[in-house]
Structure 1
Amino acid sequence: MATVINAAGTRHDPRRWWALGALVASMLVLAFDTTILNVALPTMAAQLGATTGQQQWMADSYIVVFAALMLPAGLLGDRFGRRRMLITGLALFLGGSLLGSLAGDVNAVIAARAAMGIGAALIMPLSLSVLPALFGPDERGKAVGMITAASALGMPLGPLVGGFLLNHFWWGSVFLINIPMAAIGIAACVLLLPETRDPATPKVDIVSTVLTAAGLGALIYAIIEAPDRGWGDGRELAMFAASAVLLGSLVLRERRMPRPMLDMGLLTQRGFLLNTVAATLVMFVLSGLMFAVPTYLQAVLGHDAFGTGLRLLPMMAGLMIAAKGTQPLVARFGARTVVGTGLVVLAFAALLGSRTTVHDGYGFTALWLSITGLGFGFAMVPAMAGALGALPADRAGSGSGLLSTVRQVGGAIGIALLGSLLASAFRDRLDVAGLPGPVAHTAKESVVAAHVVAAHTGSAHLAASANTAYVHGMTLVLIVCGIASLVAALLAALLLPSTPAVLPTAQEETPAMVTAAADGGQ
């Protein structure tokens, strides 16, 4: 076991860049693992017989666990050793990936994704928290920049890597790709990283952790199951009520704690609160779109998995271009103007996308996806920087953790709510006249299932109806996204601070800031 070494003794260790390489690999695999599944879902739905609700759970089980455990995971590393807990996180991520690659049914995939979420919750904050022990101020900006670049690169890499693997191997390969990278990360941590800890860190509050996970789980479960059971179903109402009680209890408990794990007092900072709301709404829209669009490209337009990954690049390119060009605009016009404009652009893109028809080719989709990416970038980056910039320096760490957690929750609710809207609209619009009851029920489970039934029955009418029904559902999702973006733009214009805010340069960035920025694709 490595001995505990203070920061001054490790900053000039010649192995520090090798250690950084391992951390970069860890962040890269986390980043592309959040988007790789979106391309795989249609294939997995066909081969595993997954309904739309089960597809939502395959995506959301990772995000819910990640969001619920990120804050306590960081505290565990501070108290018991960041290196030790980072190795634990990588091992859990490796084990979850192995389980996913061997899974034979939907429930096993959901369990594997949840295990990966536990590992990711440890990896994300702890990969960043070890940087001060490896690099001095003169090198830390470069190290932070490399990790940030890895996180940004992972978003477009996910669909491409996933598409390539699905075209050449079985669907489990999208999990198997994580195993060698996680193993390399574990070996590098064991051999290269110093152990650091902060015994003064508050203890992990088990009760608050359980309340967070149970409350979020009940909320997501209720939203995902609503299309099947109906929003007025007794179990649905009970789950919503349970979620409200659990999350309300969490807020009350944390407000009474002398050293809270989830610092709710940060929400009294107006700049932090409003920028966090803006960033969370953007994450809500992004997650919903990334759930709906890949299935449209594959099931409706007929592209294979790799072709789908390529066709998502316009959105990723727009996002990265906007993220790079945001700083001079914020310096000149102020964060409020840039965030508000980005949200208006995002609303325009979503409403433009809602004009998509079954007969449109990819060109129109590429157009509104590009504009969507620009809106995301111009809204997200200054909103996150503005949220963290509004915090006192001594609360930047807890603030970044709260921001990341709230944004992950926004992403999970985006997948659950918009996915449920899509599923309900698809079922209502699909024409299954003339099909036996059980066959009709199967066709209504998802557009992929409807195409499988159409192929078995030789029904061209069912296939055409499935495409029309799915595009109708996607249209409703895009309209909701557009309205949400317009509401967020109005809030930004009226309430965000008007003073110009310059985004940090690479040399000025802190690990706390990157914690918020690095999980932008999750």
Structure 2
Amino acid sequence: MPKISPKLAICIVYVAAMMMDGLDATIVGPALLAIGGALGVSPAATNMVEVSFLVSFALVIPAAGWLADRFGTRRVFLGALAVFTLASGLCGAATTAGGLVAARVLQGLAGGMLAPVGMAMLFRSFPPEERLGVSRFLMLPTTLAPALGPILGGFLTDHLSWRWVFWINLPLGLATVLFGLLALPEHVEEDAGRFDLRGFALATPGLGLLMFALGEGAARGWGDPLVLGAGLLGACLLALLIPAELRSPAPMLDLRLLADAPFRSAALVAVLASGGLLGMLYVFPLMYQDALGATALDAGLTVFPESLGLMLATAAIGWSFPRLGARRVMALGLLGAAAAFVLMSRVAPGTSPWAVRALLLAVGFFLGHAVLAVQTVVFDTIADEAMGRASSLLSVLRQIGGAAGVAASAAVLAASGGAGLGAYQAALLASVAFLGGALLFALQIRPAPAPQLRAEAEPSV
């Protein structure tokens, strides 16, 4: 094999891995109805396919940096990519809902390490003056994959099988792992520091059990002993986590940062906006297929404009943010998205598909503005030495917010009958409630005079 520049090798492996990771975040939605039908579970119960991935993804983020420093970025990154690829194969081969959820947990644990470890490889390879140019070059393929995910998921479900929404990762994953073994350089830190084992031991089962209870409550019923026991035990573990993290000199999740009021308000806006968006993206494809008779491909094509709206928001935010300020951009964005959600809940069998797509475009445009504004100001009051811990905390909270949004929508769907247009409409309104909560916290953010948009802020809805 010809010798390849380490910088080029890192870029190739990073882009391939982020495309797989990003695609997996959006490709499954249009396939959920087919998955539920094949595995014998109700539409409301399919929420665990998404919730299990989101929660396990979040749990490993704080540990990713330490693992990479301790064992080497190349070893950890390629190991995570290999496990992610294996888990994709297991997801596609699942014959029971429980087997699919277990494989999704494994996939999430591996996927949660790819972005932070991959970013560390990039930053160590490129000096500061080259990073912006590299980021812009890599942004197109890594944002295109999640944008195309709904269309690809719908096409594969309709023309092959829902199993191919997972198996599509296998050829690219295997090729990337083999290429990385041959071309990637290794880097190991001499002193990786201490790992917060107590925090990890409390957070992992605590969040897992609580999200299991929220997800399974929709299928088993809230009075089920397993649901009640898991929920209570998870809540107790998380209650123990808070004082443990506050006392730890090197916490896995630095909860002390939430004492900073501007950071706390902006973070809660991001968390609740994520819950609202992912709850809608879970419910609406199910509603469009199950209650309105659309195909999986139709559902994917209808959801796709949300990504286009986000791209438009990325272009427009440079004009709107300096003129309106963070609080107004967030408030208007959240109000616009909430209005679009309400109108989506009124979609009926005779509604034009183009009208529905226009609503999804509006969701991306308005919610994209709100999220980009949050990303621009959320770290304004955080000291430089705490920036890494604040970023890790925000990433974890945003993933948990998304999982809570999906679980809440599924719970409302199940409580409203689990099927039928009315049940889906009620579940969509639950997502509106998340955006309403985000709006309340956005209004607490003090306006700043004519701020300049930061070039490094990238959309991550």
- Alignment TM-score, normalising by the size of structure 1: 0.83
Number of the residue aligned with 1:473: 423
Number of the residue aligned with 2:441: 491
Whole-angstrom distance in 2 between the partners of 1:148 and 1:255? 36
1:167 aligns with 2:158: yes
Cα distance change on mapping 1:243 and 1:36 into 2, 3 Å: same
Whole-angstrom distance in 2 between the partners of 1:478 and 1:98? 32
Whole-angstrom distance in 1 between the partners of 2:396 and 2:375? 13
Which runs of no fewer than 5 residues in structure 1 stay unpaired? Answer: 1-12, 428-446, 448-468
Whole-angstrom distance in 2 between the partners of 1:306 and 1:237? 38
Number of the residue aligned with 1:464: none
1:108 aligns with 2:99: yes
Whole-angstrom distance in 2 between the partners of 1:213 and 1:193? 31
Number of the residue aligned with 1:438: none
Whole-angstrom distance in 1 between the partners of 2:218 and 2:50? 17
Whole-angstrom distance in 2 between the partners of 1:139 and 1:196? 20
Matches of residues 294-309 of structure 1 in structure 2 within 5 Å? 294-309=285-300
Number of the residue aligned with 2:328: 337
Q: Is the 8 A contact 1:276 1:384 kept in 2?
A: no
1:245 aligns with 2:195: no
1:44 aligns with 2:17: no
Give the AA of the match of 1:246. Answer: L
Cα distance change on mapping 1:352 and 1:171 into 2, 3 Å: closer
Q: Is the 8 A contact 1:54 1:106 kept in 2?
A: no
- Alignment TM-score, normalising by the size of structure 2: 0.93
Number of the residue aligned with 2:211: 220
Deviations 1:217-236 (A, max 9, x none): 22112222334454455554
Number of the residue aligned with 2:17: 26
Whole-angstrom distance in 2 between the partners of 1:123 and 1:148? 16
Deviations 1:346-396 (A, max 9, x none): 111122223233443424322322221122101111112211343222222
Which is further off, 59-68 or 403-412? 59-68
2:51 to 28, 52, 60: 60
1:292 aligns with 2:283: yes
Number of the residue aligned with 1:396: 387
Matches of residues 82-161 of structure 1 in structure 2 within 5 Å? 82-161=73-152
User: C-alpha displacement at 1:255, in angstroms?
Assistant: 0.9
Identity of aligned residues (%): 30
Q: Is the 8 A contact 2:266 2:378 kept in 1?
A: yes
Give the AA of the match of 1:38. Answer: G
Matches of residues 454-469 of structure 1 in structure 2 within 5 Å? 469=420
Give the AA of the match of 2:387. Answer: A
User: C-alpha displacement at 1:188, in angstroms?
Assistant: 3.2
Whole-angstrom distance in 2 between the partners of 1:136 and 1:331? 29
Aligned length: 458
| Backbone CA RMSD of aligned residues | 2.1
Q: Is the 8 A contact 1:38 1:294 kept in 2?
A: yes
Q: Is the 8 A contact 2:72 2:188 kept in 1?
A: yes
Whole-angstrom distance in 2 between the partners of 1:184 and 1:390? 43
Which is further off, 13-22 or 167-176? 13-22
Q: Is the 8 A contact 2:62 2:392 kept in 1?
A: yes
Whole-angstrom distance in 1 between the partners of 2:92 and 2:231? 33
Cα distance change on mapping 1:366 and 1:268 into 2, 3 Å: same
Cα distance change on mapping 1:183 and 1:474 into 2, 3 Å: same
Number of the residue aligned with 1:179: 170
Whole-angstrom distance in 2 between the partners of 1:346 and 1:490? 14
1:501 aligns with 2:428: no
Cα distance change on mapping 1:28 and 1:145 into 2, 3 Å: same
Q: Is the 8 A contact 2:91 2:100 kept in 1?
A: yes
Which is further off, 251-260 or 262-271? 262-271
1:364 aligns with 2:355: yes
Whole-angstrom distance in 2 between the partners of 1:499 and 1:82? 41
Which is further off, 318-327 or 357-366? 357-366
Whole-angstrom distance in 2 between the partners of 1:153 and 1:299? 28
Whole-angstrom distance in 2 between the partners of 1:352 and 1:198? 53
Deviations 1:111-153 (A, max 9, x none): 2111111110111210111112221223211222234333322
Whole-angstrom distance in 2 between the partners of 1:248 and 1:150? 41
Q: Is the 8 A contact 1:16 1:192 kept in 2?
A: no
User: C-alpha displacement at 1:403, in angstroms?
Assistant: 0.7
Whole-angstrom distance in 1 between the partners of 2:190 and 2:367? 39
Q: Is the 8 A contact 2:9 2:184 kept in 1?
A: no
Whole-angstrom distance in 2 between the partners of 1:115 and 1:233? 26
Number of the residue aligned with 1:262: 253
